[in-house]
Amino acid sequence: MPAGFKRVGSDANGLTVAVPQKWLALDLTKDDLDQTLKQTGLSGEALEQARRSLRALVANRAIWASDQASAESSPNKFATNLNGFCQDDAGSPPPADQLIADVKGQLEQLGAKVNEAGEVPIDNGGKAVRVVYRLPSHGIEIRGTQYYVQSPGKTCIVTLSTDRDGQQALFDQIARTTQPT
């Protein structure tokens, strides 16, 4: 695990990942959503948007983490964040090229522009499919990266999002620590 990072997630989530120590982390299998959102310092529409987004992740037993300090320096007050969850695979998981094609198609249907897609190594010796994209949303251009880590019987998906350039190296550093449990 990189120096200055902490591991978040558990068997209940189906995965763990390391994030910078200063990031606020939320385990959506057990943490009180409203209580944790109070710690974020968000208010008004930003708070309501976070609440709506996180409720959708509760059903997936997701983990969520956010760099609250990044919202202060963001021109849009957008906090750089991560969400991660696992899905059971029906049968055998698709090969990487098929997964890439499927993900690109889904993102493009949402209006995203995929900039990069391919396999990358992760710290456990395996590989992940990595898809880098830009997505216009409510007047903000989101810079996102999704990582798909397959393990027997499931695929874990880690999504990192920001509205600032220059975060890809951090996103890759975080995602390399993904470990299905």
Q: Tell me the per-residue pLDDT of 92-114, one tens digit each, with 9 for 90 and over.
A: 888 999 999 999 999 999 999 99
For residue 88, is pLDDT > 90? Answer: no
Note the Cα 30 to chain centre separation in Å.
18
**Confidence band (pLDDT; 50, 70, 90) for 38?**
confident
Report d(CA 124, CA 176) in Å as an integer. Answer: 8
Note whether 19 and 6 are within 8 A (CB).
yes
Burial class (CB in 10 A: 0-12, 13-18, 19+), 125: exposed
Q: What is the mean pLDDT of residues 158-179?
A: 96
Note whether 82 and 178 are within 8 A (CB).
no
Q: What pLDDT was estimated at residue 6? A: 97
**Tally of CB atoms within 10 A around 47:** 15
Instruction: Report the top-level CATH class of 5-180.
Output: alpha beta
Instruction: Give the end-to-end CA distance of the chain in Å, rounded to a whole number.
Output: 16
For residue 33, is pLDDT > 80? Answer: no
**Confidence band (pLDDT; 50, 70, 90) for 89?**
confident
Beta strand residue intervals within the chain, DSSP E: 5-10, 15-20, 24-27, 63-67, 80-88, 113-121, 127-137, 140-151, 154-162, 179-180
